[in-house]
Amino acid sequence: MRHPVTKAVIPAAGLGTRFLPATKALPKEMLPVVDKPAIQYVVEEAVRAGIRDVLFVTGRNKNALENHFDRATELEMILRRKGDEAKLLRVAESTDLANVHYVRQGDPKGLGHAVLRSKAHVGGDSFAVLLGDDIIDSRDPLLERMLEVHDQRDTCVVALMEVDTDQAHLYGIATVDATEEEDVVRVRGLVEKPEPGTAPSNLAIVGRYVLKPEIYPVLEQTAPGRGGEIQLTDALLTMADHHAQGGLHGVVFRGRRYDTGDRLDYIKANVQLAVEREDLGPGLRAWLKEFVGTFGD
Ligand code: UTP
């Protein structure tokens, strides 16, 4: 058994331009999905996988995020005075969840640059990266499996999902070789957001990574790529060629994932997660049936 992964890095410093104007003063990771900010689902996922040390990479507008994971003394006092235990618990949930730390990215120079900002905190151990706007449904464990593959093969691991061909240009796309395990592939090549119609496969990288610390010197050497940003995908491609470092593997995920940085996916995430809730589900389901009926054919 290798040294267990104990640290998670959650980049949340992007500009979130697809979601303007909502993200003018609020990081997109703080947008609520039903009644919790997207990023709280992500921290809960890390904790479920046994990781309680969480480093947020933040940018401008970080106050809302910091406040969410901090005590809300005044609010707690009012709720306590009212004897509203249920709401008090809801307020405390995010405070007690994990040991949170922050580092600023400065200019948003890309995901690779955001990950590089975690170097001093992470040090010499492997670590997980969870994108703060990407929610994996808690019923479909992914990070646990990625940690297992990292542990067994001593390799960097990315999460891969099959996407429709017409969506491939929105993702980093991998070319892969099969392994003896049905859900694990060896990554041979990667291309970040290929031009429409040129994607070498339909296997897209989604927002979960387990990385070895050897990625840091590679990131330091990675020149700005697509869009003038330091791309994590470019550094991962270098890791794929580092056979002495175990190369790069992918876990093919077939569960439910919601990209809350995309407006349509964000709306779907709200509906899907609310429909399954005991408190909101029955009312929403009944209304949805009626509403859909008004569309005609
Ligand atoms: P995205 O590409 O989805 O974020 O990055 P974005 O640039 O904010 O999105 P749009 O296109 O303008 O709407 C994926 C993740 O990486 C983080 C983002 O916050 C998001 O969680 N990120 C991206 C950083 O932390 N820093 C960056 O420089 C870029």
- One-character DSSP codes across 27-92: -GGGSEETTEEHHHHHHHHHHHTT--EEEEEEBTB-HHHHHHTS--HHHHHHHHHHT-HHHHHHHH
Distance 13 CA to ligand 1 centre (A): 6
Side chain identity, residue 58: T
Give the Cα-Cα-Cα angle 211, 201, 197 (nearest 5 degrees): 125
Distance 260 CA to ligand 1 centre (A): 11
The band of 297, judged by pLDDT with boundaries at 50, 70 and 90, is: low
Phi, psi dihedral angles at 224 (to 5 degrees): -55, 135
Q: Is 86 exposed, middle or buried (0-12, 13-18, 19+ CB in 10 A)?
A: exposed
For ligand 1, say whether the CB of 12 is within 6 Å of any of its atoms: yes
For ligand 1, say whether the CB of 16 is within 6 Å of any of its atoms: yes
Q: What is the pLDDT of residue 87?
A: 95
Q: Among the atoms of ligand 1, which is closest to the Cα of residue 109?
A: 28
CA distance 101 to 85: 28
Q: What is the pLDDT of residue 100?
A: 96
**Percentage of the chain surpassing pLDDT 70?**
99
Contact indicator for 25, 267 with CB cutoff of 8 Å: no
Q: What is the pLDDT of residues 124-152, one digit of tens each?
A: 999 999 999 999 999 999 999 999 999 99
Is the predicted pLDDT of residue 1 greater than 60, yes or no?
no
More confident residue, 295 or 260: 260
Side chain identity, residue 281: G
- One-character DSSP codes across 181-207: STTEEEEEEEEESPPTT--S-SEEEEE
Where exactly are the structural domains of the chain?
7-261
Contact indicator for 160, 173 with CB cutoff of 8 Å: no
Supply the pTM of this predicted model: 0.95
Distance 261 CA to ligand 1 centre (A): 8
Distance 219 CA to ligand 1 centre (A): 17
Residues in the chain: 297
Q: What is the pLDDT of residue 271?
A: 97
For ligand 1, say whether the CB of 224 is within 6 Å of any of its atoms: no
Tokens representing residue 128 in the block? 């997980």
26 CB-side CA count, 13 A: 18
For ligand 1, say whether the CB of 133 is within 6 Å of any of its atoms: yes
Q: Which residues have a Cβ under 8 Å from the Cβ of 166 and sit 6 or more positions away?
A: 196
Q: What is the mean pLDDT of residues 213-217?
A: 96
For 223, other C-beta atoms within 10 Å of its C-beta total 7
Q: What is the mean pLDDT of residues 5-29?
A: 94
Q: Whose CA is nearest to atom 27 of ligand 1?
A: 110
Name the fold adopted by 7-261: Spore Coat Polysaccharide Biosynthesis Protein SpsA; Chain A (3.90.550)
Please list the residues that pair with 50 across neighbouring strands. Answer: none
CA 297 from centre of chain: 37
Q: Tell me whether strands 36-37 and 7-12 are parallel, antiparallel or unpaired.
A: unpaired
- The residue assigned the tokens 């464990």 is 141
- The residue assigned the tokens 């703080």 is 30
Q: What is the pLDDT of residues 34-79, one digit of tens each?
A: 999 999 999 999 999 999 999 999 988 789 999 999 999 999 999 9
For ligand 1, say whether the CB of 17 is within 6 Å of any of its atoms: yes
For ligand 1, say whether the CB of 11 is within 6 Å of any of its atoms: yes
